[in-house]
């Protein structure tokens, strides 16, 4: 029951983060005040974000990538059991994320041009949900569960997490601090075994 309530809260906070960020940064734009954030990785890594269409495709790809071992693994534990355990970790992480995205709304990348809040933004994220990365959190939790049940090696886990981090930085989907914060929140939740069961 608590997990379902948490999901509703997450959805509401995701929407309020978008509305607050949209209001604030459009106001800054009208006043001719462009907010700037210096990010070390942004300064030295190439910028991939050129077209929202391709960014959306890549976002879905990196959102699905952590789940690929579901399809290429020996039968040990049912897919439903694995997915349920992932969600039990993911809901508390995402609940923390839903609050942090409302507390600090960082400026979006200039190419982020979401005109309205749709189901896609609810699932994938939006221009203003920077602190902290849900993509990295999902990848880390999925990889942890697959590693825990010996479905993947620790090398595969590390490579997948590294590629997710690199993609988030070069696509300008997240700032460096978003990814570091995400890493430590997921580590803490898993290490303390904080779960919300269905």
Assess whether pLDDT exceeds 60 at residue 75.
Answer: no
Over residues 125-175, the pLDDT tens digits come to 666 677 788 888 988 898 898 888 888 788 888 888 888 888 888 877 787
Domain that holds residue 86: 2-191
103 contact partners, CB below 8 Å, separation of at least 6 = 131
**Total structural domains within the chain:** 1
Residue 124 within a domain: yes
Residue 198 within a domain: no
Residue 135 within a domain: yes
Residue 196 within a domain: no
Q: Please report which confidence band the pLDDT of residue 186 belongs to, taking 50, 70 and 90 as the band edges.
A: very high
| Residues of the chain above pLDDT 90, percent | 10
Assess whether pLDDT exceeds 70 at residue 110.
Answer: no
Residue 108 within a domain: yes
Residue 198: what pLDDT? 72
Residue 35: what pLDDT? 58
Mean pLDDT of 182-188: 94
Residue 112 within a domain: yes
- Residue predicted with more confidence, 124 or 174: 174
- Residue predicted with more confidence, 107 or 150: 150
Query: Cis peptide before 82, with omega less than 30 degrees from 0?
Result: no
- Residue predicted with more confidence, 193 or 154: 193
Q: What is the mean pLDDT of the chain?
A: 78
Residue 189: what pLDDT? 95
Buried b (16+ CB within 10 A) or exposed e, 121-140: beebbbbbbbbbbbbbbbbb
Residue 133 within a domain: yes
Residue 197 within a domain: no
pTM of the model: 0.71
- Is residue 168 within a helix (H) or strand (E), and if so which, with residue range? helix 154-170
């Amino acid at each position: 029951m608590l997990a379902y309530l948490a999901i509703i809260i997450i959805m509401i906070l995701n929407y309020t983060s978008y509305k607050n960020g949209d209001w604030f940064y459009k106001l800054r734009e009208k006043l001719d005040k462009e907010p700037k954030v210096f990010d070390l990785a942004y300064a030295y890594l190439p910028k991939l974000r050129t077209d929202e269409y391709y960014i959306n495709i890549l976002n879905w790809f990196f959102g699905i990538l952590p789940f690929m071992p579901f399809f290429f693994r020996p039968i040990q534990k049912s897919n439903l059991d694995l997915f349920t355990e992932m969600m039990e970790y993911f809901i508390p992480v995402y609940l923390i994320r839903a609050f942090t995205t409302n507390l600090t709304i960082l400026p979006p990348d200039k190419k982020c041009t979401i005109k309205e809040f749709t189901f896609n933004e609810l699932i994938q994220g939006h221009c203003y949900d920077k602190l902290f990365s849900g993509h990295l959190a999902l990848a880390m939790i999925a990889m942890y569960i697959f590693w825990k049940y010996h479905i993947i090696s620790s090398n595969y886990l590390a490579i997948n997490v590294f590629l997710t981090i690199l993609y988030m930085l070069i696509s300008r989907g997240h700032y460096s601090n978003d990814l570091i914060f995400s890493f430590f929140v997921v580590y803490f939740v898993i290490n303390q075994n904080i779960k919300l069961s269905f």
